[in-house]
Amino acid sequence: MLHKHPNDWFADDFFSVPVIAVLRGLTPVEAVKSATRAWDAGVEHVEVTIETPDAVPTLAAVASAAAERGLAVGAGTIIRPEQLGAAASASASFTVSPGLDETVLQESIRRGLPHLPGVATPSEILRANALGLTWLKAFPASLLGPEWIRAVKGPFPDVQFVATGGMKAATAATYLSAGASVVGLSSDFSSDAGAASVRELLASISGASAPH
């Protein structure tokens, strides 16, 4: 089935760590440095946005660094099908969009790149479910708020949300406790102190889920 592939791929313990690093507007050197902070903090996956062609070399650089660790990197801000060729050539392993576009979804899957589309309304969630998707990006999460996550998890308990957009490590736990499966963090990885806060977040989550 055409739309089954991305669900299987994401559900296969891909998002076992509840934080993904989202890197935007950085040079290749800066992005690799931020990605390394994320990986060293315990984050497994990084998304590099490619809203402009100038960002593709940054994606390629991070993907190359990730490959040395056996990790996957996604291409973000995919809003046009023609961006997918660049994402594939830069060795992206999955794609992320701020919205839901079936043409982008189908072309991404055709290229073997599981796709994570953005949603902000119940109607968009229904559309995504009809296309066979259960992993969705809640965007912009900082404006939707944790109560939005909690509210939509009621009628859509099987949907797994990756909450991104204006998120901080300091407030991420609120979204996770509201029902988000993953939070996307950006600015925290611009400094060692920020990365340390992410490490503490992950440790607190791990401690809370550990058996007593």
List the catalytic residues. Answer: 47, 137
Is there a contact between 161 and 178 (Cβ–Cβ < 8 Å)?
Answer: no
Across-strand partners of 23?
48
Q: Which residue has the tokens 């992993």?
A: 135
Q: What is the CA radius of gyration of the chain?
A: 16
Bond into 18 cis (ω within 30): no
Closest CA to 119 of 127, 108, 130: 127
**CA–CA separation, 55 and 45 (whole Å):** 18
Half-sphere exposure of 161 (CA within 13 A, CB side): 32
